[in-house]
Amino acid sequence: EIQFSTLTLKKQNLLICPVASIKILTGENKPIQAFVIPHSHMDVGWVYTIQESMHAYGANVYTSVTEELSKAGDRRFIAVEQEFFRLWWDTVATDSHRRQVRQLVKEGRFEFIIGGQVMHDEAVTDLDDEILQMTEGHGFLYETFGVRPQFSWHVDPFGASATTPVLFALAGFNAHLISRIDYDLKETMQKNKKLQFVWRGSPSLKAQQEIFTHTMDQFSYCTPSYLPFSNSSGFYWNGVALFPDPPKDGVYPNMSLPVTKDTVDAYAHTMVENIKQRAAWFRTNHVLWPWGCDKQFYNSSVQFNNMDPLMKYINQNSKELGVTVQYSTLSEYFQAIYKSNLTWDARGSEDFLPYSTEPYQAWTGFYASRNVLKGVARQASSQLHAAETLFTRYRISFPDGPVAKDWALGKLRALRWAVSEVQHHDGITGTESPKVADMYLQHLTQAMMGVEELLSVILLLTSGVYEAMEQHVIVYNPLAWNITNIINLTVTLANAAVFDDEGQPVPAQIQRSAHSNGTYDLFIMVELGGLQHRKYLIKFSETSCSGSAKCSWTYEAKRVLFERRSSRYRTRTGRRLLPVLNECYKLMFDQDTNLLHSITYLPEKTTVRMTQDFWEYHANGDVEAGPISDNYIFSASSSAVQAYKAVEMEIIPGKIVSEIRQYFYRWEGDKDYAYSITTRVPECFGTKVQCHRLEQTYSLGPLRLNTEVILRTSSSLKNNRTLYTDDNGYQMMKRPYRNFTSNTFARNYFPMVRAAYIEDDLSRLVLVSDRAHGVSSQANGQVEVMLHRRLWNNLPWNLGYNLTLNDSSVVRPTLWMMLGSVGATSKLYQREATELQHRPVCLLINLWQKEPRSSSVHSVVLPPNLHLLSFSIPGWNYSSNHDVHLSVDLHSEPDYGRVLLRIMHLFEEGEDPELSKPVTIDFKDVLKGIGEVKAMEERSLTGTWDVSSLQRWKWKTADNSETNKAFNVTISPKEIRTFFIHFSSKNL
């Protein structure tokens, strides 16, 4: 019991209230109708690996549930995390089980909820990956059962994003369910019966994508475990799952007392009183009563054989008890709410972040936990996008080409699965045990290796040992924009010349690497059309080629080293300033501190004082000494302290890029630096290269124990501690600084998935990131980004599950920084964030055969405010016509002829005078460089609905604004539109 109760308190943070004297008045004295929803919350990872969970309980859940539902027609069950179900379906289920599931699904008694591979996190996940994992699950369910999930069950993510309801609405959902929001806000909403509302997650889409949202009450998704008449937990008759093996005798710890003639009345009154307590917090007499918790229903016969007589007893005494109960799916509950025909409050685009469970438990630490995993997950997502677009283009252009389509799709699906599973709310969050983090990394890296092989093969190349003095590189642009970019390759020789596929010299620069004395950084300026690749040749030389015509375009950059400076002299600033500038910026560095002093945005001649350095929050690890920080929670007892005593600097002036390297030493006499900042200032070559992005890469780690490290950027901007951060890379949220009676530092931290900025009347400072971080503005003009954490504490729960985050890794995240007026930066940051996410893919290869010239590949170019979000061949085999799909037995051969295309408008309504306008595009014209478009169907977000037949529920709201529902090829601000594209047979 102690084990179960502790687990429940940590995962659920239940607020237990007395229930003895509760009285409920319902309309017309109708009895309260309780919808008992059987479910099992199965984390795709967390403490145990997916394989361990499948072995210990996961497989038994679906086997036993299938068998028990088939025995009685009133029983129900909802299945949420598709990865476990798909593993069971493919590797465990018998033919008999499959037939039973198909029948139960057809009857509506076994219901798939959400339908994605996982219940994704909402704070640190990227839009691309949320859509991917949902598309993967929906495709499987529609192909296999002909069903399309229409409701969500987001009961465990740590806070709720405003992007999620938008995506669910676009996928065809009729209602959304959340649970984890601030404890004090939930208490207020309960008192005022405001736990249900219609959410308009996007300020631009407004009512067009509104969705009814149910917030779970304080008991969350677990059945209350307290039984006043017993020492056992309540309603968990199968007990608590055991690892590594299920007990052979079927006896698990913490099994509840059986329901007998001696206990049924006590059970009934306990259940009824809890139902009545919940009913007081909602407007209708319908109560959602979740029956289950983590890892439940692996022995469903025990569960149902005890609940059956209990529910029968309550219904037989419903007049006296004032309650009726019934097994229910989530759709049955929401249908009852919908039929109540009430008018609901409309909620705007505010989210529910950050999330706190009590005054000293702000769940803002996980925004930065396991930085390496967060980075690899985003790299994998970026590589997947590149491979999907390249394979799709290859299939259309060469349908009978030598690349085996089944082999290629298998490689893509392996990476789709790996990227999908890590989006789990105990995956990319960094809140899992070390062995589970290793599992995610292993799955990601193995799948990435397979896709890298696919990329090479599609480009008609073979890998091998290359000549030491000559190297080929293929550069692919995965964006549907023309780009001029600077790529960076690591090489071992100091002298090189670069040529394009026409033999012409290419501007390049070479210099000694910052991280290794034996390697060099080779910067190459590349120009690529949308979805185009080009070949470059690098010729190396043992001797310097200065003055040689063959390598006159390669600049050999030399470093200038500045003396190490003590932080004791920080007050001596502004006397000796050194400029580094390009056409956009003039950066001034202070030679007395070796720190940044100011930045001038040259087009507008505005100067902002600015300093960047590292600070540390020192975390408490002793529960006896006060609040702790752990994987989930950031709890700062005091403000951050400076993390260094001296700074060293070297500057490498260049003709392609100038580089400033700053090394921060913990103590003045240390040999090795603790942290570093490498800032790259691109040279512009006229207007080709984007000069407004300043690229910064940081090096941190291994950290000292119980240390949380931030990059602090202090500026002269008057932002009044107001910050803007993005929800999932989709939309920006205003984050005013708020004062709390306790834990103010931590409760003013927010997730930054792709972007954050501060601004005043004159200027805006923007940061865009290559992975998720925590970000805050703790003082006027300040932005601090939490980059890395290493923690240990003695909380028995954390020790028992190995969740103390003793992360000793070295991390090297990247941020791009921009400065300018609000108008200037509004035109840039969405596109810059997208370009950082989808940088050119570089493949070093040995050419063994002549390759067709890349210039023959036509570019695909979208307007600057539109982004090609997806261009892939999903492979799911189902008819676009729902009636046809249900009436025929389709063969299992993947469909290689249907292309899924998504277009996203990057701008909010009114954000920019021109770029915020709707855009009309002609798909035949846009895609003519790939092939001839024969047909086009507009689909729901995950592709399973024809939008013309998608009729989502309309809810009465206090604000009944109407929205134009017409569908055409005009993409309005913040719209994401999904299409199936079919090319003519001569292409495919």
Residue type, 406: D
Residue type, 475: V
Four-residue CA torsion sign, 269, 271, 275, 278: positive
Task: Dig out the tokens for 266 from the structure.
Answer: 């006590």
Q: Are 480 and 861 in contact (CB under 8 A)?
A: yes
CA nearest to 453, candidates 463, 443, 445: 463
CA distances from 82 to 79, 115, 512, 922 (A): 7, 6, 49, 37
Task: Dig out the tokens for 645 from the structure.
Answer: 């005593």
Task: List CB contacts of 434: < 8 A, sequence separation 6 or more.
Answer: 802, 806
CA nearest to 302, candidates 231, 254, 243: 254
Question: In degrees rounded to 5, what are phi and psi of residue 932?
Answer: -90, 120
185-223 residues labelled b (16+ CB within 10 A) or e (exposed): ebeebbeeebbbbbbbbbbbbbbbbbbbbbbbbbbbbbb
CA nearest to 933, candidates 943, 920, 923, 945: 923
Torsion angle in degrees (nearest 10) through CA of 454, 455, 461, 464:
-80
Question: In degrees rounded to 5, what are phi and psi of residue 882?
Answer: -60, -40
CA nearest to 771, candidates 783, 788, 784, 754: 754
Q: Are 756 and 735 in contact (CB under 8 A)?
A: no
Mapped onto helix, strand or coil, the DSSP state of residue 357 is strand
Q: Are 733 and 725 in contact (CB under 8 A)?
A: yes
Report long-range pairs for 823-826 (Cβ below 8 Å, ≥24 apart).
823/912, 824/601, 824/603, 824/604, 825/757, 825/764, 825/766, 826/911, 826/912, 826/915
CA nearest to 833, candidates 906, 775, 735, 776: 906
Number of alpha carbons in the 13 Å side-chain half-sphere of residue 772: 32
The DSSP element (H or E) to which 489 belongs, if any, is strand 483-491
Mapped onto helix, strand or coil, the DSSP state of residue 469 is coil
Q: Which residues partner with 732 through β-bridges? A: 726
C-alpha span between 188 and 202 (Å, rounded) = 24
> DSSP letters of 79-91?
E--HHHHHHHHHH
C-alpha span between 5 and 173 (Å, rounded) = 34
> DSSP letters of 518-564?
T-EEEEEEEEE-TT-EEEEEEEEESS--TT-GGGTTEEE---EEEEE
**First and final C-alpha spacing in the chain:** 61
Task: Count the neighbouring beta carbons within 10 Å of the beta carbon of residue 89.
Answer: 16
The set of catalytic residues is: 156
CA distances from 863 to 503, 589, 653, 692, 976 (A): 31, 38, 35, 20, 15
Task: Dig out the tokens for 725 from the structure.
Answer: 């951060």
C-alpha span between 406 and 893 (Å, rounded) = 9
Residue type, 431: T
